[in-house]
Amino acid sequence: MGRKMFDLCGRDERLRFSPYCWRVKYALAHKGLDCEFVPWKFTDKEAIAFSDQTKVPVFVDGDQTVVDSYEIFRYLDRVYPDKPLLGEGAAAERARFFKFYAERSLAPGVMRTILMDVFNAVHPDDRDYFRTSREKAFGRTLEEMHSPSQGLSMLDKALEPMRGRLDESPFLEGDEAGAADYLVVGAFMWARVTSAADLVSNADPVYAWFQRMLDLHGGVGRNATRIVDVDGAYAN
């Protein structure tokens, strides 16, 4: 029994854009573990009903099922202890902050920058679900939430601590990438796959970091299909 992960896909099955799924792809690549990435749409709730919840990533390893990207990191460290992701003690406690930094500092700015691009990228079957669920959560329409100028301004401020760190070292974890980098890179892959927007200028240390992240582990990020590579991806 092999490993598989249910992986959010878009209007083209090759478009894989969930920031949470990207965390796990980097974590698996870090460990050198093969995995089948099963394309999944928001409305495919039946396909993951066995996981007793409704979101991806859902990771299946033989007879084990693990949900939530951070829980999958923990599972991978437990079952495949070589090349630790989170580690133990203070290392593990400190890793946890990067989850919240990615989700609460970076993601809101990225989201407001690319929201209509994400809406365009989702599978046609998911469009109604995506609009309805997001508009309910935001209390506003997608069109009202989408504001690249505001989003990029939010992101610019939120990136300040990353810039400080990346001015002195190639990765958030120092000389080699690790869990902190993987927890954060999902937000950048989300934008890279769905949008042509540049989140940071090429003079930004965060830009150079992301280029290194794209090339890591055999180009796991670099090789991802982007919306700009898909014929007809902007047709209705």
Interface ranges with its own copies (CB under 8 A)? 84, 87, 89-91, 93-101, 103-105, 154, 157-158, 160-165, 169, 172-174, 178-180
Shortest Å distance, C-beta 51 to its own copies: 22
Least separation, in Å, of the C-beta of 174 and its own copies?
A: 4
Residue closer to its own copies (CB basis): 21 or 158: 158
Closest CB to its own copies among 12 and 204?
Answer: 204
Q: How far is the CB of 138 from its own copies (least distance, A)?
A: 16
CB of 165 vs its own copies, minimal distance in Å:
5
148-181 burial, b for 16+ CB within 10 Å, e for fewer? beebbebbbebbeebeebbeeebbbbeeebbbbb
Nearer to its own copies (CB atom), residue 94 or residue 222: 94
| Nearer to its own copies (CB atom), residue 166 or residue 191 | 166
